[in-house]
Amino acid sequence: MTVLLSTRGLSKHFSGLHAVENVDFDLPAGQIRALIGPNGAGKTTFVGMLCGRITPSAGAVIFDGQDISHLPAHRRIRLGMAYTFQITSVFPGLSVAENVALAARPHLRGEAEVAAAVQDALDRVGLGGRTGQVAGDLSYGHQRLLEIAMGIAQAPRLLILDEPTQGLSDGEIAAFKALIRDLSATTTILLIEHNMSVVMETADMVTVMNFGAILAEGRPEEIRADPAVQAAYLGTDADAGT
């Protein structure tokens, strides 16, 4: 199996705090990988280093065999990485369609291709009927879905989603699970998520972080049964899907 994304010895220190420490990680192409762990485990810092928003203190990030550790975020996007943030980053003054078009244009030729990609991405996340609505007027949950559409429109090789179901209704979460399974046919997915039903029903493999390091990796059923994971994370608020 081809590894699309990996890290070796990846570390980040903030004023003596070891937020991420010596992480070796491998994500095969075509896999849905969930990244879970308690608050403060280092997940967001780790993903920030993958995306190029945070500079590592040590170690390497490798994408499709290329060391991208020192590439800025926009260069990583050009290589085929797309990501959504834990806090929405849509352009609130633009329409829903214009937000997605901005994400799609660097990857497509001609406005006809862009328009088709925009409509397809919005249809897939359930916002196809809101193309002309101002993004800032959307609910928080729908802004999350708009961000996912912006990622999809880039046709990425790797899609990184940070807390994508936060603010979604139960029905929207069910639709999100189906969307992830559909996307996995063409896209490798890294999912940072607290909702355990989403993790257990969509992920092929799960990586658990705690105190800036990898605590465990395995199939969802193995992770649920792992005593160390139960002690560190499961059996607390994660069981409630928060």
> Which pLDDT tens digit goes with each residue over 120-173?
999 999 999 999 999 999 998 899 899 999 999 999 999 999 989 988 999 999
Q: Which amino acid is at 2?
A: T
Query: Do 37 and 208 contact (CB within 8 A), yes or no?
Result: yes
Instruction: Give the pLDDT confidence score for residue 157 in this predicted structure.
Output: 96
119 pLDDT exceeds 50?
yes
The predicted model gives 13-22 an average pLDDT of: 92
The predicted model gives 188-207 an average pLDDT of: 96
Phi-psi region of 110 (alpha: psi -120 to 50; beta: other; left: phi over 0): left
76's tokens: 């990583």
89 pLDDT exceeds 60?
yes
84 pLDDT exceeds 90?
no
What does pTM read for this prediction? 0.89
Q: Which amino acid is at 128?
A: G
CATH superfamily of 1-65+156-242: P-loop containing nucleotide triphosphate hydrolases (3.40.50.300)
Kindly list the domain boundaries of the chain, sorted by start residue: 1-65+156-242, 81-155
**Mean pLDDT of the chain, nearest integer:** 92
Instruction: Give the pLDDT confidence score for residue 88 in this predicted structure.
Output: 62
Query: Do 173 and 195 contact (CB within 8 A), yes or no?
Result: yes
Range of lowest pLDDT (13-17, 46-50, 125-129, 196-200):
13-17
